[in-house]
C-alpha cells in the first residue's frame, strides 16, 4: 500500500464509492510556545478553510501524551487515541488520508500512529493543503462513529535503549536540522548534540521546494549515501517524534521499513546520565 497520495488522486477518490476519511492535522513546531509565548491557533486556521469533510485532529492532545520524562510528544494512551480516531470516523475497512498545512510533519505523525497501530490503508496528502486545488469548506463535519481499535505492531517502535543499540548495530538517522545534531544550537531541549553513532539526516532534505517528497529513486539514493543498505535495520529520531515520523514516511516512500524512537532527543537529553555526542562525526 502506498504511503502518499497526490491531490488529483485524492479528488478522484473523494468522488468514488468508498471515499477516504479525511483528517486535518494543522500543526507546527512552535519555538514561541517553548519560550512561553502563545502558540499558533491552528484550530482557527482549520475553521477558516479545510478540505470538505476533513475532521480536525489535535496533535498535541490526540496523537501524543502529556509531556514529561518520556519526551515532548510521547505516545498517547492508546485507548484514548483509539477513541479520538473513532470520533473522527476512522474505521478499519475505510481508507484514511491525512494532511497538514504543508510541512508534512504532523500528517506524518498521524500516518505513523495509525500505521503502527494496525490501520491497513492510511496515506499522507503529498504537499499538504497547499497542493489542494479544489474548494475549501468552513463547515464542521459530524462523522459517524468509526470502529478502529488500535492494535500496536511488535516492530516499528524504539525506546531509548533500542535507539542506542541500533546506532551501534544498524543505522540510526537523526531527522533534525544539522546545527542541532552538531550541538551548535539547541532552542528547545536541555542540551544540544546527538545520540552517539547516529547519522545526521535532516528530513527537510527529503522534499523539494514545493514540499512534496522527492521521487522514490532519489530518496533511495539519498538514504544509501547515508549508510542505509538492503540488510540494514533502520531507525529514526528527531526532537520529539514528529519530524522523525516524516523521515520514516520518506523511507516508506523509498520502500525502506524503519522504526521510530518516539521519545527522541527530548527524552534522551532529559537524562544527564545518557551520553551526548557533538560535532559532525556520528561518534
| 144 domain-assigned | no
- Edge-first strand order for the sheet with 259-261 is 157-158, 259-261, 234-237, 171-174, 199-200
Question: With the CA atoms of 65, 67, 69 and 73 taken in that order, what torsion angle do they form, in degrees rounded to the nearest 10?
Answer: 60
The answer to whether residues 103 and 195 belong to one domain is no
Longest dimension (CA), the chain: 55
The answer to whether residues 226 and 122 belong to one domain is no
Q: Flag whether pLDDT at 242 surpasses 90.
A: yes
| 215 domain-assigned | yes
| 277 domain-assigned | no
Report the pLDDT value the prediction gives residue 35, as an integer from 0 to 100.
47
CA distances from 18 to 94, 95, 97, 129 (A): 7, 8, 12, 21
The answer to whether residues 116 and 184 belong to one domain is no
The whole-angstrom separation of Cα 255 and Cα 222 is 13
The answer to whether residues 69 and 17 belong to one domain is yes
Report the pLDDT value the prediction gives residue 32, as an integer from 0 to 100.
45
The answer to whether residues 170 and 259 belong to one domain is yes
H or E element in which residue 223 lies: helix 216-225
The answer to whether residues 179 and 102 belong to one domain is no
Catalytic residues: 238
Placement of cell 521499513 in the chain: 257
- 221 or 32: whose pLDDT is higher? 221
The pTM of the full predicted model, rounded to 2 decimals, is: 0.95
Q: Flag whether pLDDT at 281 surpasses 50.
A: yes
Placement of cell 475497512 in the chain: 93
The answer to whether residues 9 and 106 belong to one domain is yes
Report the pLDDT value the prediction gives residue 1, as an integer from 0 to 100.
75
The whole-angstrom separation of Cα 181 and Cα 188 is 13
Report the pLDDT value the prediction gives residue 42, as an integer from 0 to 100.
85
Give Cβ neighbours of residue 228 (< 8 Å, ≥ 6 apart).
171, 173, 234, 251, 256
| Per-residue pLDDT reduced to its tens digit, 93-140 | 999 999 999 999 999 999 999 999 999 999 999 999 999 999 999 999
Domain enclosing residue 67, as ranges: 4-131
Mean pLDDT of 182-199: 96
The answer to whether residues 46 and 163 belong to one domain is no
**Is 259:235 a contact under the CB 8 Å cutoff?**
yes
| 34 domain-assigned | yes
Q: Give how far the C-alpha of residue 272 lies from the chain's centroid of Cα atoms, to the nearest Å.
A: 27
The answer to whether residues 13 and 110 belong to one domain is yes
The whole-angstrom separation of Cα 33 and Cα 112 is 24
| 40 domain-assigned | yes
Cβ burial 183-211 (10 Å sphere, 16+ → b, else e): beebebbeebbbbbbbbbbbbbebbeeeb
Mean pLDDT of 5-19: 96
Report the pLDDT value the prediction gives residue 28, as an integer from 0 to 100.
75
**Among 80, 97, 131, which residue terminates a domain?**
131
- Edge-first strand order for the sheet with 55-56 is 4-5, 122-125, 96-99, 21-24, 55-56
89-92 CB contacts, 8 Å cutoff, 24+ apart: 89/21, 89/55, 89/143, 89/144, 89/145, 89/146, 90/21, 90/23, 90/114, 90/119, 90/146, 90/148, 91/21, 91/146, 91/147, 91/148, 92/118, 92/119, 92/120, 92/147, 92/148, 92/149
- 1 or 257: whose pLDDT is higher? 257
Domain count, the chain: 2
CATH number at residue 70: 3.40.250.10
**Is 23:110 a contact under the CB 8 Å cutoff?**
yes
| Per-residue pLDDT reduced to its tens digit, 23-82 | 999 987 655 444 454 556 788 999 999 999 999 999 999 999 999 999 999 999 999 999
The answer to whether residues 18 and 59 belong to one domain is yes
The answer to whether residues 177 and 259 belong to one domain is yes
| 22 domain-assigned | yes
| 238 domain-assigned | yes
> What proportion of the chain, given as a percentage, has pLDDT over 70?
96
| 208 domain-assigned | yes
The answer to whether residues 11 and 125 belong to one domain is yes
Report the pLDDT value the prediction gives residue 39, as an integer from 0 to 100.
58
The whole-angstrom separation of Cα 140 and Cα 166 is 44
Report the pLDDT value the prediction gives residue 40, as an integer from 0 to 100.
66
Amino acid at each position: 500500500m502506498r504511503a502518499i497520495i497526490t491531490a488529483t488522486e485524492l479528488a478522484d477518490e473523494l468522488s468514488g464509492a468508498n471515499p477516504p476519511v479525511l483528517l486535518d492535522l494543522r500543526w507546527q513546531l512552535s519555538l514561541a510556545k517553548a519560550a512561553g509565548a502563545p502558540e499558533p491557533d491552528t484550530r482557527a486556521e482549520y475553521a477558516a478553510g479545510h478540505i470538505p469533510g476533513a475532521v480536525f485532529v489535535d496533535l498535541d492532545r490526540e496523537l501524543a501524551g502529556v509531556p514529561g520524562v518520556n519526551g515532548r510528544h510521547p505516545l498517547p494512551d492508546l485507548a484514548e487515541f483509539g477513541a479520538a480516531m473513532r470520533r473522527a470516523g476512522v474505521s478499519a475497512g475505510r481508507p484514511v488520508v491525512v494532511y497538514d498545512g504543508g510541512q508534512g510533519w504532523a500528517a506524518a505523525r498521524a500516518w505513523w500512529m495509525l500505521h503502527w497501530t494496525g490501520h491497513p490503508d492510511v496515506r499522507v496528502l503529498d504537499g499538504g493543503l497547499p497542493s489542494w486545488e479544489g474548494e475549501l469548506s468552513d463547515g464542521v463535519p459530524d462523522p459517524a462513529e468509526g470502529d478502529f481499535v488500535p492494535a500496536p505492531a511488535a516492530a516499528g517502535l524504539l525506546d531509548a535503549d533500542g535507539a542506542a543499540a541500533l546506532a551501534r548495530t544498524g543505522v540510526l538517522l537523526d531527522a533534525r536540522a544539522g546545527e542541532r545534531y552538531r550541538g551548535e544550537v539547541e532552542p528547545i531541549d536541555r542540551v544540544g548534540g546527538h545520540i552517539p553513532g547516529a547519522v545526521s539526516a535532516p528530513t527537510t532534505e527529503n522534499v523539494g521546494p514545493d514540499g512534496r517528497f522527492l521521487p522514490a529513486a532519489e530518496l533511495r539514493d539519498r538514504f544509501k549515501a547515508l549508510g542505509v543498505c538492503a540488510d540494514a535495520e533502520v531507525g529514526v529520531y528527531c526532537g520529539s517524534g514528529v519530524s522523525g515520523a516524516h523521515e520514516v514516511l520518506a523511507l516508506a516512500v523509498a520502500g525502506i521499513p524503519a522504526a521510530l524512537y518516539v521519545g527522541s532527543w527530548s527524552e534522551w537529553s532529559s537524562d544527564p546520565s545518557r551520553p551526548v555526542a557533538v560535532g559532525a562525526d556520528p561518534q
